[in-house]
Structure 1
Amino acid sequence: MNQNRREHRQGQAVVRGKLVPTSTHDQRLLARQGPSDWVHMDPWRVLRIQAEFVEGFGQLAEMPPAVTVFGSARTRPDSEEYELGRALGRKLAQAGYAVITGGGPGVMESANRGASEVEGAMSVGLGIELPFEQRMNDYVDLGIEFRYFFVRKTMFVKYSCGFITLPGGFGTLDELFEALTLVQTGKVTSFPVVLMGSEFWGGLLDWIKSSLLSTGKIASQDLDLITVTDDVDEAVRIIADADVARSQQRMDESEAAAVQTAEPQ
């Protein structure tokens, strides 16, 4: 058997050699078709998209409270950032949280690795089909491969108590600002967003203050949506405090609803 043949993940399938496609499902979905071609193609894609949602919801529904860790796939295993991610994954697991990452190498691997070192912890990877293959790292207990970014993003938000973001590139920034937008617009509540690495993120925060806040593009309270720290213990505490606050809010709402129901009409 030829061990050098190209290999590619397609959802639950693996294809090799001449069956490896030249484009991804996302690329084909977003490509402009002819005037009427989309009528014959896109409606059928909805069924595949629906199947991805069903698969993700089914696999993750019984997962314990979880935290998503984002960061660069290019972080080297011998770097300080890798060790930071590993320590963070371990601390989150010790605090009772499952750890979710994108399932790839670098920071993702380090957080999954840290979680896997805690007995009874759950280490999750939500992978994505890319033009260049990126295998699921070896420290994932539950790995799910997605074709579509927007389905994967839904899983990150739906099953997480918060996001902790380590240094990363465009993909990391994409996830970071999407999370901030969801919190800012009230689509998710009591959802902390923590940036780890003050030296790395400092320039971005300065730009947000000088270019966005100073020109009225955001409000001053929007800065409170972001917490920057270099301390793993503080990052985990921020997540845990928000989790407690969210639970208390639900209890208060339930009690208020019970009182309102009990009152004579």
Structure 2
Amino acid sequence: MSKRKHRDVPQEKDFTGGMINSASCSYVGTTGEKALDEKISALAKEIDNSEGFCLLAELMTTAVRISRGAVSQGDFKMMNRALKEMRISSEVFNPYSHIKKVGIFGSARTKPEEVEYITTVKFAERMREEGFMTITGAGPGIMAAGNEGAGRENSFGLNISLPFESSANPFIAGDEKLIDYNYFFTRKLSFVKEADAAVAMPGGFGTMDEIFEAMTLIQTGKAVIYPLVLLDAKGGTYWKFWNQFIEEHLMRLNLISESDFALFKVTDDIEEAVSEIVNFYRNFHSYRFVGDKLVVRLQDAIDPDAFDNLATEFADIVKSGTMQQRGALPEEENEVEMAEMPRIVLRHGRGDMGRLRQFIDAINVATIV
């Protein structure tokens, strides 16, 4: 019987799964004035007397360079506002870092009486029952349905300021978890960074943009893998025809790999969509890269015989050396909450993320200790 004692341990939201940062200040850069660099370093250390002061010094140095460089006033304002929006987003999401979240995309034009709206409400209700919070774009249509099904307490709204559609839906309006954005790119960053899964209902250009953004970042290894579900109402064909286009054009022309189809799931069944997301975290917890090593954290250790079979079946994803099941690496000592988690460690070439998704699926069905 699985203990699942690590299920609620939050993952540090480095959504890139990137390398462990060095404590060195060698990457801070310079303003061009040695005396000013020293003042910035001293002030950063005074404000943040930890290893993190180097990052603060780098940020302050960058700000000075922007103010003194070949940057227009308009660009300066954009950079400042973008950083401010990112800061606000992190502050809003931080208290809920221990709770998994699902992002829901879809058309703002869908009416409450339409089957896609009703399906979204039911799906969000089921995800709430499974312990997930819901993130939507805070607008009408499918977004409103997601917030309605999840309920205000379990909802986030990422509202974009548009001249024709700027007010939040009544299910999230006025809530402290509603965030207003001026830029689509900072809003999309929050969607990808904060979600542990994404579900797309039928929608227009915005829905296509959001789902392809997430898929591209995952396929290229720029964002960690998580479940992407393309959900139709029962009997719907929107995503079936979308998948047909992917098969007949992208795949037929060798523009994508066959394993890329493992990165998403098309279904018109709510329970199948819920299962796709929940089972992704059955034993798999998270992963990140430490140098050239991929470290996959597990809820429970895998039975030695089952692990040997897993290592054999997925030997192709190992760039060099062998796959090992072990404890935390010394470089992970700063992640105290995850110290006791069992790991699978291997050298991975950061290619074919679809195959890595298949590896995670295999982990979730392997016999545990």
Q: Tell me the CA shift for residue 46 of structure 1.
A: 1.3
Q: Tell me the CA shift for residue 203 of structure 1.
A: 1.3
Task: Report if the CA contact (8 A) 2:116-2:142 is conserved.
Answer: yes
2:150 corresponds to 1:122:
no
For 2:226 and 2:81, the matched residues in 1 are separated by 30
More helix by share: 1
SS in 1 for 2:282: helix
2:77 corresponds to 1:44:
yes
Q: Tell me the CA shift for residue 244 of structure 1.
A: 3.2
Q: Tell me the CA shift for residue 189 of structure 1.
A: 2.6
Closer, same or farther in 2 for the Cα pair 1:209/1:101, shift >3 Å?
same
Unaligned regions of 5+ residues in structure 2, if any? 1-69, 287-295, 302-324, 334-369
Matching residue of 2:203? 168
2:329 corresponds to 1:257:
yes
Structure 1 runs (4+) deviating above 6 angstroms are none
Matching residue of 1:98? 133
Matches within 5 A, 1:63-102: 63=96, 64-102=99-137
Task: Report if the CA contact (8 A) 1:88-1:114 is conserved.
Answer: yes
Of 240, 247, 265, the match for 2:285: 247
Closer, same or farther in 2 for the Cα pair 1:259/1:139, shift >3 Å?
closer
Q: Tell me the CA shift for residue 40 of structure 1.
A: 3.2
Task: Report if the CA contact (8 A) 1:70-1:164 is conserved.
Answer: yes
SS in 1 for 2:179: strand
SS in 2 for 1:127: strand
Give the letter for the 1:40 counterpart: Q
Of 61, 83, 86, the match for 1:53: 86
Deviations 1:182-216 (A, max 9, x none): 11111223311100015111111111111111111
For 2:331 and 2:136, the matched residues in 1 are separated by 41
SS in 1 for 2:297: helix
Task: Report if the CA contact (8 A) 1:161-1:243 is conserved.
Answer: no
Deviations 1:200-242 (A, max 9, x none): 1111111111111111110111112110111111111111122
Task: Report if the CA contact (8 A) 1:85-1:166 is conserved.
Answer: yes
Of 237, 258, 266, the match for 1:199: 237
Unaligned regions of 5+ residues in structure 1, if any? 1-36
Task: Report if the CA contact (8 A) 1:190-1:243 is conserved.
Answer: no
- Identify which range, 243-252 or 220-229, moves more after superposition: 243-252
Aligned pairs, how many?
A: 223
Closer, same or farther in 2 for the Cα pair 1:254/1:109, shift >3 Å?
farther
Closer, same or farther in 2 for the Cα pair 1:246/1:159, shift >3 Å?
farther
Matching residue of 1:181? 216
TM-score, with structure 2 as normaliser = 0.57
Closer, same or farther in 2 for the Cα pair 1:206/1:59, shift >3 Å?
same
TM-score, with structure 1 as normaliser = 0.78
CA RMSD of aligned residues (A): 2.4
SS in 2 for 1:134: coil
For 1:87 and 1:178, the matched residues in 2 are separated by 26
- Identify which range, 247-256 or 89-98, moves more after superposition: 247-256
Identity %: 36
Of 167, 171, 185, the match for 1:150: 185
Q: Which has the greater radius of gyration?
A: 2
For 2:75 and 2:326, the matched residues in 1 are separated by 42
Of 69, 76, 95, the match for 1:62: 95
